[in-house]
Amino acid sequence: MSYPYLKYSSSIEEEPNLLKLFIDDSEVTIETNEPEQLRKTMLCMDGTKSIHTLAAENSYSQNDFESLLSQLKSVGAIEILDKNDTLTVEPQAFAKICRQVFPQWKKDVFTLDFWHHLTSGQLSISSFAGWMLENFHFIEGATKRLSLVTATSNKNRKIRELFSQHFIEEYNHQLFFLKALQRLGFSKSQVLNHTPLPSTQAIINHMRESARTDTIAYAACSAFLESTGGDRKDGMLFYDALTKHYDKEQKGIIKPLVDHAFLDEEYGHNDWLEKVCSCVAVLDKERSDEALSAAQMLVETLKMWTWDMSVHYENIPFEELTNACRYR
């Protein structure tokens, strides 16, 4: 008996008389008179239901359903598990899966209008300052989440040592953003007394929940946030654009952020997930699925965070941002 599942890297867009499948960087079109039904059927493919069960539940004949599965598998949208497949996954295979889906997930977040407007100078100085303030609060929260995940890893000495070292390296990185905000015109007390947006707190809470739940889930979320070698060039272009549009007086506002990026690279945080996975002999599939789901939920929360910043800060006078008592 076989069990189909829709790959994490696949997304579905419904249109009249067809479905568009976005798989990694490719687009596939499937013509159908019932796109809504086909989309519903595909979303039922989670690896827990057999081909026979899925066909019956979605009113397909066995032959028609197997033909559909063959088509979907040929374009890379699904995989099919055999009943004899092991219920475990190699840790480095899990890390590889994460690296395969992360680029598309990052694209989903960082192609939102806010980021284009930020890097093209279309946002107000208040929006730019707001983005830095929210980053300050998130990075300041590293002390809370890294202490939790270090405690959670008490049964694996190697992982505990990794997280302890990470804690030592990250505990004061909010100071890079504090320095940038001070060069922008904030005092230290104004930054410290600022209240983060609910969506920023949601990201912090999600990371803390992952830290309490499972070290692999936390490592997956952390790996999504860390830059990789492939992100480095884009990151420097991002900072160059911020300098051009928001530091016209050349106060060096962006330099602390660049220093922070280079320090993370020096620490080797870009392969953090692989380092954690190397400390584990094997992963249950259920555990790896939950870890990947935690990373995906982080992505959805980051989308909400982006929207929250875009609507909250745009029309606020910069002088009002420096009012420590101000909130919404």
Do 47 and 107 share a domain, yes or no?
no
- Does a structural domain hold residue 215? yes
Do 167 and 44 share a domain, yes or no?
no
Mean local confidence (pLDDT), 214-223: 95
- Does a structural domain hold residue 222? yes
- Residue that terminates a domain, selected from 82, 103, 134: 82
CA atoms within 13 A on the CB side of 204: 17
pLDDT tens per residue across span 76-134? 888 887 765 567 889 999 999 999 889 889 999 999 999 999 999 999 999 999 999 99
Mean local confidence (pLDDT), 158-162: 93
Do 235 and 153 share a domain, yes or no?
yes
- Residue that terminates a domain, selected from 53, 82, 111: 82
What's the rounded Cα separation, in Å, for the pair 133 and 125? Answer: 12
Look up the CATH number of the domain holding residue 16: 3.90.930.60
pLDDT for position 110:
92
- Does a structural domain hold residue 136? yes
What's the rounded Cα separation, in Å, for the pair 106 and 231? Answer: 10
Determine the 3-state secondary structure of 46 from DSSP.
strand
- Does a structural domain hold residue 280? yes
What's the rounded Cα separation, in Å, for the pair 69 and 63? Answer: 10
pLDDT grade for 323, boundaries at 50, 70 and 90: confident
Do 308 and 188 share a domain, yes or no?
yes
pLDDT tens per residue across span 39-88? 898 888 887 788 889 889 998 999 988 888 898 888 888 888 776 556 78
Do 76 and 92 share a domain, yes or no?
no
Domain containing 37: what range? Answer: 2-82
Q: Give the chain's mean pLDDT.
A: 88
Do 20 and 106 share a domain, yes or no?
no
| Percentage of residues of the chain with pLDDT beyond 70 | 94
- Does a structural domain hold residue 37? yes
Do 6 and 129 share a domain, yes or no?
no
- Does a structural domain hold residue 57? yes
* DSSP track, 229-287: HHHHHHHHHHHHHHHHHH-TT---SSHHHHHHHHHHHHHTGGGHHHHHHTT-S-EEHHH
**Total tally of structural domains belonging to the chain:** 2
Do 201 and 229 share a domain, yes or no?
yes
pLDDT tens per residue across span 234-244? 788 999 999 99
Strands (E), the chain: 2-6, 10-15, 18-23, 26-31, 78-82, 88-89, 283-284
- Residue that terminates a domain, selected from 82, 108, 143: 82
Do 279 and 297 share a domain, yes or no?
yes
- Does a structural domain hold residue 55? yes
pLDDT tens per residue across span 248-271? 999 999 999 999 888 877 777 778
pLDDT for position 140:
93
What's the rounded Cα separation, in Å, for the pair 108 and 301? Answer: 12
Rounded to the nearest 5°, which phi and psi values hold at 114?
Answer: -55, -45
pLDDT for position 5:
81
Do 35 and 178 share a domain, yes or no?
no
pLDDT grade for 227, boundaries at 50, 70 and 90: low
Question: Tokens in use for 310?
Answer: 């875009």
pLDDT for position 28:
84
Do 109 and 223 share a domain, yes or no?
yes
Look up the CATH number of the domain holding residue 284: 1.20.910.10
